[in-house]
Amino acid sequence: MFNKLRLLTPGPTPIPEDVRLALARDMIHHRKADFKRVMERIQPGLQHLFGTREQVLPLSCSGTGAMYAAVTNLFAPGEKVVVVEGGKFGERWREIAQAHGLRVVSLVQEPGEAVTAAAVGEALAMHADARAVLVQASETSMGVLHPVRELGALTNGSNTLLVVDGISAVGISPCPMDQWHIDCLLTGSQKGLMLPPGLALLSLSARAWDKVRDVKPANFYFNLLAERDKNLEHQTLFTSPVNLLQGLAAGLDLFRTQGLESVYRKQWALTKMTRAGVRSLGLDLLAKTHFTWGLTSIKLGPGIDGGAILKTAADSYGVVMAGGQGDLKKSVIRVGHMGHVDWSDVLAGLHALKMGLTQAGGYSAARSYLEDALRAYEEALEGGYPGVEA
């Protein structure tokens, strides 16, 4: 009652009321006609969101499950892949690939840095036998946006697939699969899709499906070819996560009503707003140039404990944000602003951040951090977001 809970983490994200009401609906059976109607209804919305004419497959798993499904279906042990390691989730691509017996060429990035298309091009030139580039559209651990469109221009027409983890990008910033020549795009439910965790979505290009057929994966659970056949019957291979799919249908209705362009415009404006507020507080941004549109990562000065800031923000202001990951746990704060988050939520986040910072001994004489942030928001809304066209 005193402070409302405001969830500004980079997933799970707050859930809109229409989606929560759909999630609360009673069970229907996943092999019956009324469920098939739900599945039929969500497919066009998912294709629009993914920017693809291919099927988008719902999988009952976390985002990591979909990453695992991609790797194990697309590649045979012994094959070589290039992995962009820009943080914890790039690392995860590597770990999954290695666990599957792939040979990995790893392109490790400095914290906050995006890979360059030139570096990937060089790696591919050195490793002509690399069958794919595995990359995050948005590296959630750093708040970095990798140049997926440029990577697609590199791999398109070659023997190399472009496999993209879109977990904090799909529904947040443009990542049109067909237009950008992405061969595998996947996401989880708890980010831009504004759902609880537990559902992943994955789509493959025609040439990626050819590759899967070559590989003949032995997977029993993550069997994408069988999943695809079942999807044509508006079902899932095994028991479906029924209420998440009912919630997804409601969420896709919101995307349709709002318009994807309008969502991107909001996400861009919230990002510019957060960055302006953080700068006005005298703090450093971790990702300088290539930044995610759904979260902002902040690099704290020496001697400032991020954990203490998060505690004050949550306990005294009701705002829950995230720390860094791995080595950056205490020295980085990540403010999520994706999905069902608006300007006022970000305002709360900035003030909680400022008060946490003050308590942690890091107060800078910032005065107009909220007004500065709001001005940046208005300007970005007005100006629109950077185009998706090459």
Residues that bind its own copies (CB under 8 A): 1-4, 6, 16, 24, 194, 254-255, 257-258, 262-263, 266, 317-319, 340, 342-345, 347-348, 351, 367-371, 374
Nearer to its own copies, 45 or 111 (CB): 45
Q: What does the alpha-carbon distance between residue 37 and residue 30 come to, in Å, rounded to a whole number?
A: 10
| Look-up of token digits 């990002």 | 271
Nearest alpha-carbon partner for 3 in 274, 222, 314: 314
Q: How far is the CB of 219 from its own copies (least distance, A)?
A: 36
Nearer to its own copies, 59 or 193 (CB): 193
Q: How far is the CB of 363 from its own copies (least distance, A)?
A: 13
Nearer to its own copies, 119 or 355 (CB): 355
Q: How far is the CB of 186 from its own copies (least distance, A)?
A: 23
Q: What does the alpha-carbon distance between residue 188 and residue 303 come to, in Å, rounded to a whole number?
A: 35
DSSP annotation of 139: E
DSSP annotation of 301: P
Tokens at 211, concatenated: 């590759």
DSSP annotation of 24: T
Q: Which helix (H) or strand (E) holds 208?
A: helix 206-215
Nearer to its own copies, 215 or 260 (CB): 260
DSSP annotation of 291: B
Q: How far is the CB of 8 from its own copies (least distance, A)?
A: 11
| Angle at 102 (CA atoms; ends 100, 105), nearest 5 degrees | 135
Q: What does the alpha-carbon distance between residue 18 and residue 1 come to, in Å, rounded to a whole number?
A: 23
Q: How far is the CB of 94 from its own copies (least distance, A)?
A: 35
Nearer to its own copies, 177 or 374 (CB): 374
Nearer to its own copies, 234 or 375 (CB): 375
Q: How far is the CB of 304 from its own copies (least distance, A)?
A: 21
